[in-house]
Amino acid sequence: MISIFNFPFENYIPAGYQFDFLATLTVLLLVLRLSRLFYGRKYSLGRVMLVPVLYTLLSVYTYIGLSVTQKELIIFFWIVGLAAGIIYGKKDRFYVKNDVLRYRSSAPFTILWTLSFLGEIYIYLYDPKLPVSVGLALNVILAASTGLILGESFRIINSRRSFVKTLPTKKGEGN
C-alpha cells in the first residue's frame, strides 16, 4: 500500500498532540457536516452537485496504489451505492425560508462517508501495516457511501421539481 498522506505532522505538531489534532479535526468536520444536514442549505444545482463531486474526488484520492482488481471491486460497489442512493435516498426535505428554497439531505449517508474517509486517513497515518483487507474494506465502504451521496443528489434534483409544483404561486408572477 502506498502512503499518500505525506504531510509531515512531526514538523509542525509535536508527537504528543498529533492524535489530539486529528481528533479535533474529525469533530470539527462532523459538526460542520451535521450542521449543514440539520439546518439545511440553499438549493441550487451547483450546491447539490458540488458536495458529491468533492466526495468523489476525495474518495478517488484514497484509491491510489490499489490493484486493478481492487479498483474494479470499488467501482462495482460505487455503482451499487449510486443505484441505492437513487432508490433509497428519500430522506431529503425541501422547505422555503425567507422566500428562498432550501433543502436538507439525509444524515446517515454523509455520516457513513465521513467516518469511512476518516478511518482511511487514520489507517494511513497511524497503522499502515494493517492487513490489506482492512484498508480494502474501508475503500469499499467509502465507494458505496460516495455512490449513495451522488445518487441522493440526483434524487434531490428530481424531488425539487415535484416540490416546486406544490408551491403556491404569488400574484403577479408569470409562468
Domain ranges of the chain: 10-166
- 70-79, 86-95, 152-161, range with greatest mean pLDDT: 70-79
73 — pLDDT class (breaks 50, 70, 90): very high
Rounded mean pLDDT, 148-175: 76
pLDDT at 122 over 50: yes
| Strands 93-97 vs 100-104: parallel, antiparallel or unpaired | antiparallel
Residues 6+ positions from 148 with CB-CB distance below 8 Å: 81, 82, 84, 85, 89, 109, 112, 113
This prediction has a pTM of: 0.73
Rounded mean pLDDT, 141-154: 88
Query: Residue 146, Cβ neighbours under 10 Å: how many?
Result: 28
pLDDT at 76 over 90: yes
Decide which of 46 and 7 is more confident. Answer: 46
pLDDT at 175 over 50: no
Closest to 160 (Cα-Cα) out of 98, 96, 114, 85: 96
Residue 46 grid coordinates: 451547483
pLDDT at 152 over 50: yes
Alpha carbon distance 28, 152 (integer Å): 24
Residues 6+ positions from 162 with CB-CB distance below 8 Å: none
Q: State the chain's mean pLDDT as an integer.
A: 77
Alpha carbon distance 103, 85 (integer Å): 17
Alpha carbon distance 104, 40 (integer Å): 4
pLDDT at 3 over 60: no
Long-range CB contacts (within 8 A, 24+) of 7-16 = 9/125
Rounded mean pLDDT, 31-59: 80
Closest to 111 (Cα-Cα) out of 54, 48, 35, 30: 30
Q: What is the pLDDT of residues 15-32, one digit of tens each?
A: 677 667 767 766 776 777
